[in-house]
Amino acid sequence: MAIKLSRVFLVLTFFLSGCSIIKPPEPLDMMTLRTQQEGMFQCGSPTPLQVVVGMPDASGGLRSDRIAILFDEREIRYLAGARWEAPAPVLIQRHLVYYLNATHCFKGVGTEGAGLASRYRLTTDMQRFHLCYYSEDSVPYAEILLRVSILDAEKGQILESKIITFKKKSAGTNQSELMDALDNVVSLAMQDASRWAATVLRAQ
C-alpha cells in the first residue's frame, strides 16, 4: 500500500509541477480606429433632417472582432496578436455616425437605439475591410469597400446608393504601420460617405 501511495504522490507532484510550467496565452492587443479631422466636409448650416445609421451588413469573416487578412484574393486569415475592441461592423457604424455628425448638416444622427424620429436611414453593406497580401513576403494593402444606401422609410424605397472603395499600401509590416493604413482607408471612406449622404439628403 505504501508503494502505491508513493507512486500516486509522484504522479500528482509531476502533474502539478508541469502545470506551473505551462504559460497562459498572451493577451491580444485591443485596437480601435482613429478619426481624422483633416479634409472633413461640412455644411454652412444644418437642415431639420435626422438620420438613423443602421448596423452594417457583413459576411462571416468580417463580422468578428478579429482583424481580417486576405491572401491572394482567396484565403482569409486573421492578424496575430491583435483584435478590434469591438466587432468590425460596430466600429464602422460608430465612424459613420461620428463623421455624419461632424458635417453639421443634420439636426441629429444616431443609431437605431438613439430614439431619433427619422424617415431616412443609412444602410451599409461592408463587402471588404481587411489587409490584403498578394504573397507571404509582400507589404500588404489596407482595403475597404462599402455599398451605402439611403432608405426613405415612409416611401419604403431606396433613394440612392453608392459604392465606396479605397486601397492604400502600408508603409511596412509592423503592427502600427498596418493600423495606420487601415485608419487611412477608413477615414477616406467615411469622408466620402458623409459628403455623399449630406448632398443626397439636403436635396430632399
Domain ranges, ordered by start, for the chain: 30-202
Distance CA 3, CA 13 (A): 15
Cell numbers at residue 109, please? 444622427
pLDDT, mean of residues 58-85: 92
DSSP per residue, 123-162:
EEEEEEEEEEESSTTSPPEEEEEEEEEEEETTTTEEEEEE
Q: Which residue has the higher pLDDT, 159 or 14?
A: 159
Q: Is the pLDDT of residue 56 over 80?
A: yes
What pLDDT is recorded for position 20?
Answer: 45
Q: Is the pLDDT of residue 1 over 50?
A: no
Q: At what angle do helices 88-102 and 175-202 cross, to 10 degrees?
A: 50
Q: Does domain 30-202 have CATH number 3.40.50.10610?
A: yes
Tell me the per-residue pLDDT of 127-179, one tens digit each, with 9 for 90 and over.
999 999 987 778 999 999 999 999 999 999 999 999 999 999 999 999 999 99
What pLDDT is recorded for position 26?
Answer: 65
What pLDDT is recorded for position 31?
Answer: 95
What pLDDT is recorded for position 23?
Answer: 54
Distance CA 71, CA 188 (A): 23
pTM: 0.84
pLDDT, mean of residues 8-21: 43
